[in-house]
Amino acid sequence: MEVADEIAELEKVGLDIVFVAEAYSYDAVSQLGYLAAKTSTVKLASGVFQLYTRTPTLVAMTAAGLDYVSGGRFVLGIGASGPQVIEGFHGVKYDSPLGRTRETVEICRKVWKRERLEYQGKHFTMPLPADQGTGLGKALKLINHPVRDRIPVVIAALGGKNVALTAEIADGWQPMFFLPEKANEVWGAALAEGRAKRDPQLGDLDVYAGPALAIGEDVEHLYSHVKPILALYIGGMGAKGKNFYHGLATTYGFGKEADAIQELYLAGRKDEAIAAVPDALVRDISLIGPKSFVAERVAAFREAGVTTINVAPLAEDTAGRIQQVEALRELL
């Protein structure tokens, strides 16, 4: 795979971590396993495994397996996704994302410690009670001894309650379309609420932001690479009144623009929706511009609490993307 070869080259210039998305494309597991064989130092993260498509124990088994084949380099990224994908593509009811997230994390950590799995939750129960099954189920523990009994868990979250839960129980938080100057206004209270309940043994919460990257003079035309993604999420990831990303853009101060994008996208006028995405929004959530500008934006991300910048380099080929990552490393 060309992508795997490219990541191996990026690893040589200091790439720290790579996230493999899933959404409704190829599954992330097979790709992560392949990357484990093609790399040696870079951390490999799922970005993200959807909670409704796997049982918690399968998530734990998969994470332990990927941690094994990568020599302890796996980071478990999980998320609830949304009704558009879960109900539309997988045909599974989208309900109780907070409860499912908490129970999944608790179960995973028990599995990795090889505890005999006796768990009574609202959404998951192991073993299944006799009156709900055959009566033959019994508490089991993972056969293998995992490389680590504590695999880092990163949760993708946007809503206040989900962000608070993430700050309470996760090792890391992966927000989408992170705008540094608005982060505290949008998520500050939720993060404080979760951190107040956080077990000190978890350590500090890592924050993974994912801006597009293009360092250079006269690169603003590359905004066009970001706008289709923003239009898809703001306009198409959910119905009116039920779109997390539309709400986020509105909170950022782009409410009128978000309404226009959504109207156009849902009407099938996708090109017009893309054109309606404001340059200012792309600029503020990205690292696109001259070196001095990108340095200022990196400082803004850091000031907002971001610990890892998970960039998407905008370049025509592998050499160009490697050059972008190297240029960014000089600014960190």
Tell whether 67 is covered by a domain: yes
Q: Give the 3-state secondary structure percentages of the chain, helix then strand then coil, rounded to 5.
A: 50, 15, 35
Which CA distances in Å does 4 have to 48, 49, 208, 249, 319?
18, 20, 22, 33, 14
Tell whether 134 is covered by a domain: yes
At 138, which CATH number?
3.20.20.30
Give the pLDDT mean for 69-84.
95
Tell whether 284 is covered by a domain: no
Strand extents, DSSP E, the chain:
17-20, 43-46, 49-50, 74-79, 119-120, 125-126, 153-156, 172-174, 206-209, 212-215, 287-289, 308-309, 312-313
Least confident stretch, 81-85, 126-130, 185-189, 275-279: 81-85
Q: What is the pLDDT of residue 23?
A: 85
CA separation for the pair 157, 174 (Å, rounded): 6
Tell whether 37 is covered by a domain: yes
The token pair that represents 236 in the structure block: 């198409």
- Higher-pLDDT residue of 82, 272: 272
Number of domains in the chain: 1
Which CA distances in Å does 65 have to 34, 41, 99, 148, 164?
13, 17, 25, 11, 29
pLDDT in tens, 254-284: 999 999 999 999 999 999 999 999 999 999 9
Whole-model pTM: value is 0.95
Instruction: Calculate what percentage of the chain has a pLDDT beyond 90.
Output: 92
Tell whether 332 is covered by a domain: no
16 neighbors 42 (Cβ within 8 angstroms): yes
- Higher-pLDDT residue of 189, 131: 189
Tell whether 279 is covered by a domain: no
Tell whether 231 is covered by a domain: no
What is the residue range of 77's domain? 1-156
Strand extents, DSSP E, 104-177:
119-120, 125-126, 153-156, 172-174
pLDDT in tens, 13-55: 999 999 999 989 999 999 999 999 999 999 999 999 999 999 9
- Binned at pLDDT 50, 70 and 90, residue 143 comes out as very high
Q: What is the pLDDT of residue 259?
A: 97
Q: Is the pLDDT of residue 106 over 70?
A: yes
Tell whether 194 is covered by a domain: no
Burial 279-305 (b: 16+ CB within 10 A, else e): eebbbbbbbbbeeeebbebbebbeebb
Q: What is the pLDDT of residue 1?
A: 65
Tell how strand 312-313 and strand 212-215 pair up: parallel
